[in-house]
Structure 1
């Protein structure tokens, strides 16, 4: 009985492991001496991963050169094929497609240097702006959905430059499979799946962020696997290089979209396991333990944070002019933008001033009212917080009803701590009001409304101004007068004793999805959602302030913007009153229950349908189930003392399986618990790990099996590759564009749930 058959014979595992015992001196052990080799050399197709292996001797012939560099030549071939798939007919649709309407517009803001707001970090959108600059775009196009591109917008060049990120996915997929120790058969299949999935292909061909997100996700996994294969040479130049590049990749992927945190979590789990194993190595000195921990902290925590923060710093430096996103930022930050409306604003606030009030709590907006009434409660005029600037955000500071009316010719009376005022809504003349009526969302708080007019009101319109502090003058005792922009205030209802509050509770559609404003009975001096500052300030009787003294700290702006991004992202919840035909649920994605129409579906339009390659999606999702089942069977057999694999094979089986499965789970499971609206493109980063698992399962049961001969493996590879290529060719139109009536294109409805043929 040969050794491989004996390894699968039932018996004590320790006995099976005895032949593996060898000289512990790695210098004399040919198995552990890598001689400076790396993982790229494979002795033959189908060989299980053993470690590293490029020969160290120089090549003596062109054939030797080809053999030693075949992995790179293969990567070059896949790269050239990827250029063709990503660039072919890329300008065929000369209209704004899908989310090009958003991200093309954001790129325009960078070229015009106008501050805007979006729920995603800025790196990807800055790259969109950069490719626009390189292509000669001037930033003047509005990018309205479905609108034809004018001749002066180089949309084809912009699409091509961004599609290069999609091109880069393919060789990285090949190299990652090689680094994971998959056989050449399996590595080719992984590269083919990355090359020929029509979902990845389609999303990479437009002015979007997804190609960048996918590229940096794949790059992070590749760098992690490269670092893993340097573990036998800790603190070498290669070890430091790939650890640092992993951190840089993490910083880039999270700076494109926050879902980059999912692949960051994968690297984190890998690092925790790695350090835990080193902690159990009694031969490792305490100094080396500290060095390992320090290296991870620097490269995998500090470096990514610095990259992430640097993207925001550059973002703030470029966008130095006032724009449509000003209201999401603090008033002090807005004062630093060129062209802002604070140029003529007086510094000291007085009775008779017309102001807008900004809530200082993270994600807060501007105190707002409009003529619409509450549908329940008092049925009086609604008061909300709104993130956009308009005339409904303006309020006049007036004296209480029991005091003399404001005299524009009389003495100026500046607002101070504990002054009682009335806030009159400028467009409607109604007064900010509160009473013992439950707020519409936060039922324990009192409702805030607008009531009366310029001559009608009551004592429920009275608010006591309480100073919290001032950015420049410090605590309340040092603040003699209220200053615009810098003084933080609270407004206490004189009768009820409650505090004006806006805490990101979203009103229903009747409140236009704006933020609820209520009056909180609890006096919590540290609740920043009860903090306000005067933002815009108009009073022709007072001189303008010197805005040069206003500076907004970067760290404060960085934190404020990130909280605003997260708050706005969480607000993207499905609207029960509207049917979103593009949305889908996470359970729809693994087996491709539904695609996504990316544009109009008229007969005279070029149509794009975001749909994955069915063979790749169905096969990769099935492989996740098979892998879990196989793991369970192997564990049961191990408990019964069957030895199906030696230690190195088992370690490799677990390593690749953990990278693929936990990468998939970390990207997929969060969407199951999110409240926000979801679409099929959210699964595209997750799919990559399912593809790695598909390659791993095929490699484990077919291409690395000792029970199958090379001809059988070749046939299996041909069937798999043929199925991938064939389905790509069948569905290529959904990515390259479908012209003419959709009903003339037969055979695309492989699942009845796909809305391809519906008008």
Structure 2
């Protein structure tokens, strides 16, 4: 009898193990299939360019046409979009103008589907991440279901955007970090080394899609510091090896991936395009079909020139008829990246107090230490500086357009200081005089003769009164290597001089191009501030996102248009937001109980609590708080990565709250949560699957007046 019971017990255990194994295999397969279904469903129903497809679809087409462009985001995501466009047979000849219908020649449905793969794969990543976090199988199912049926994740997956890629790589980075947690104590094994490498690869990818990837990088950094600190406390003997591997895998490899993405970016975009103005002269002049004219090689007094900065905003020296609203109220001098007659200056002799050199009527070359006056051709003013504070940066002097050929003073005079000369790429071209200023290849500084400060592009932008163009100042600089004070002549016109047809400009340096394009990206990001003179009905504040104060209309809202509304699932968002307030109280209660010795927490328990609750909570803060504090314009989709981590916190709160409940109560609560998640998805599914006909049909979904679903 006992023997038979024992056999039945062993058989039951084996049967349960088999069922669990089958469930562990089928569950991620079912979730992944469901995830693909809801994201691919009717993905081509709206055959117009929707929302930011106007940007990212267009950027993809630039790669196919090999035309250089400029954007605020790194290139990986846009190159992946270009790959999907190429795989879909797109030839790059459609411009993706907003709200325009896709022509028959563009297989936009296939392009969207290929991009939706990233969104669909978020579900299995969430599933395995939760398992590695040691959540129970029911919490794992719950979080995975929330990710699978999250309305904002679904609708962003349906279009040609970066958000699904960003979310996917954010989740893989966190998932790799969690996998490393499960491998604690197995350092330097092949499995541990592989996942350490994959963590670095994920960091490199997420940072190469958007700089938002730096937020999850901070979380991985805190996890790594915690691990290294614990090893230090335990007297780990191989600390140096641990440090080296982490430096290589988590810092160097991500940086190399980021660098390599730009190398591919520059290689693919070898033709002149819309982004030329964001780069330096050497980069532009090496692009095919560039607009820079080949001028005479020696610049002389009387020549007309354009002058480009080497600073953080490599723009052309520019002026116009508008004046500064404060300060001297003289003509504005700015940096402007694009071709414009207001970029043209004439090289003139200095004021009469400095005698004009005599050269028997022959042109006088511009040489090192020459004193010049720069006359703006359109306004007839002189480039001028004085002891008046600059308008954006602090501690510098204003640079303005002042006077005329008759009116002016010695503060119109500038001294040329040559800092570097580059040779021609044509080895047969004669070596040029290193003391003479040449277009393109001579880098110089302009020192104000009276004040001793240097003409500088600060990298900041003027407000709307300065048309958000780059700030130009005169600043004191103590190093000739200060690139913000470097300039070069880009174009040169002089009818009395001959052009050298054999001259071939020097090649630009990848490292210089890489640094400048990243500074240009940062400058463009900083310029994305709300415009007080314009109302942006799509912009929202960060405080609105966790409470679903409002959503975002992603397309035209007419009856004949399939409409999409970007709004998070009320179930997922509101419950996860509540959990964000509950979690600190759970943490505080545990700390008090531990301090009063009511509980004894082992190292394993502390790490488990950290990986299940603390790190997701920190990840939510790193992905949310920066948007709450930054001055740039923000939108609903910026909350997407933070929402994922809020869901993880919610999963922890549920599991922690039910840890002492009996099995039946836990099962009932989980079933209620499963039902709620599915019901809310089905109720609000038209928002992400497309609303047809009159928006008034969906009035029942407009729970609040701030939800502008109905006109």
User: What TM-score results when the alignment is normalised by the length of structure 1?
Assistant: 0.85
Question: Does structure 1 residue 104 correspond to structure 2 residue 60?
Answer: no
Question: C-alpha displacement at 1:724, in angstroms?
Answer: 0.7
Match of 2:34 in 1: 81
Distance 1:547 1:478 in 2: 14
Q: Which runs of 5+ in 1 are unaligned?
A: 1-60
Match of 2:384 in 1: 433
Match of 1:337 in 2: 287
Question: Does structure 1 residue 503 correspond to structure 2 residue 449?
Answer: no
Q: Is the 8 A contact 2:422 2:506 kept in 1?
A: no
Pairs within 5 Å for 1:43-62:
none
Aligned-pair RMSD on alpha carbons?
Answer: 2.8
Pairs within 5 Å for 1:462-481:
462-471=413-422, 479-481=434-436
Question: C-alpha displacement at 1:441, in angstroms?
Answer: 3.6
Tell me the secondary structure at the aligned position of residue 701 of structure 2.
coil
Q: Is the 8 A contact 2:460 2:523 kept in 1?
A: no
- Of 651, 656, 667, the match for 2:612: 656
Distance 1:598 1:644 in 2: 52
Question: Does structure 1 residue 550 correspond to structure 2 residue 506?
Answer: yes
Match of 2:447 in 1: 492
Question: Does structure 1 residue 681 correspond to structure 2 residue 637?
Answer: yes
Tell me the secondary structure at the aligned position of residue 121 of structure 2.
helix
- Of 627, 630, 640, the match for 2:596: 640
Distance 1:306 1:519 in 2: 36
Q: Is the 8 A contact 2:285 2:505 kept in 1?
A: no
Pairs within 5 Å for 1:344-359:
344-359=294-309
Question: C-alpha displacement at 1:511, in angstroms?
Answer: 1.4
Match of 1:289 in 2: 239
Tell me the secondary structure at the aligned position of residue 463 of structure 1.
strand
Distance 1:292 1:519 in 2: 48
Q: Is the 8 A contact 1:418 1:466 kept in 2?
A: yes
- Which digits, 9 at most, give the CA deviation of each residue in 1:197-254, with x for residues without a partner? 1011111111111110001011111111122212232211111111111110100000
Tell me the secondary structure at the aligned position of residue 699 of structure 2.
coil
Q: Is the 8 A contact 1:397 1:423 kept in 2?
A: yes
Higher mean C-alpha deviation, range 524-533 or range 72-81: 524-533
Tell me the secondary structure at the aligned position of residue 603 of structure 1.
coil
Distance 1:538 1:408 in 2: 21
Distance 1:182 1:680 in 2: 29
Question: Does structure 1 residue 319 correspond to structure 2 residue 269?
Answer: yes
Question: C-alpha displacement at 1:431, in angstroms?
Answer: 3.1
Question: C-alpha displacement at 1:524, in angstroms?
Answer: 6.2
Distance 1:463 1:587 in 2: 51
Q: Is the 8 A contact 2:571 2:676 kept in 1?
A: yes
Instruction: Tell me: CA distance 1:547–1:195, structure 2 relative to 1, closer, same or farther (3 Å).
Output: farther
Match of 2:91 in 1: 138
- Which digits, 9 at most, give the CA deviation of each residue in 1:27-70, with x for residues without a partner? xxxxxxxxxxxxxxxxxxxxxxxxxxxxxxxxxx9997664353
Distance 2:499 2:542 in 1: 58
Distance 2:216 2:478 in 1: 42
Distance 2:264 2:476 in 1: 42
Pairs within 5 Å for 1:105-254:
105-254=58-207
Question: C-alpha displacement at 1:548, in angstroms?
Answer: 4.2
Higher mean C-alpha deviation, range 488-497 or range 146-155: 488-497
**Count of residues paired in the alignment:** 690
- Which digits, 9 at most, give the CA deviation of each residue in 1:477-528, with x for residues without a partner? 9931112223222223334444322213322212111122233367765543
Distance 1:716 1:646 in 2: 29
Distance 1:332 1:237 in 2: 46
Distance 1:125 1:412 in 2: 50
Match of 1:619 in 2: 575
- Of 215, 238, 253, the match for 1:262: 215
Q: Which runs of 5+ in 2 are unaligned?
A: 1-13, 425-431
- Of 708, 724, 729, the match for 2:662: 708
Pairs within 5 Å for 1:521-532:
525=480, 527-532=482-487
- Which digits, 9 at most, give the CA deviation of each residue in 1:529-584, with x for residues without a partner? 22211122233523236564512221221111112211221221222222222112
Question: Does structure 1 residue 301 correspond to structure 2 residue 301?
Answer: no
Question: Does structure 1 residue 719 correspond to structure 2 residue 672?
Answer: yes
Question: Does structure 1 residue 513 correspond to structure 2 residue 463?
Answer: no
Distance 2:621 2:687 in 1: 28
Question: C-alpha displacement at 1:392, in angstroms?
Answer: 1.9
Q: Is the 8 A contact 2:312 2:457 kept in 1?
A: no
- Of 512, 517, 520, the match for 1:564: 520
Match of 2:427 in 1: none
Instruction: Tell me: CA distance 1:384–1:409, structure 2 relative to 1, closer, same or farther (3 Å).
Output: farther
Q: Is the 8 A contact 2:178 2:611 kept in 1?
A: no
- Of 306, 309, 315, the match for 1:365: 315
Instruction: Tell me: CA distance 1:232–1:433, structure 2 relative to 1, closer, same or farther (3 Å).
Output: closer
Distance 1:347 1:750 in 2: 69
Match of 1:419 in 2: 370
Tell me the secondary structure at the aligned position of residue 492 of structure 1.
strand
Instruction: Tell me: CA distance 1:737–1:707, structure 2 relative to 1, closer, same or farther (3 Å).
Output: closer
Question: C-alpha displacement at 1:77, in angstroms?
Answer: 1.0
Tell me the secondary structure at the aligned position of residue 637 of structure 1.
helix
Match of 1:48 in 2: none
- Of 352, 377, 381, the match for 2:331: 381
Question: C-alpha displacement at 1:725, in angstroms?
Answer: 0.8
Distance 1:716 1:110 in 2: 51
Match of 1:53 in 2: none
Distance 2:619 2:390 in 1: 44
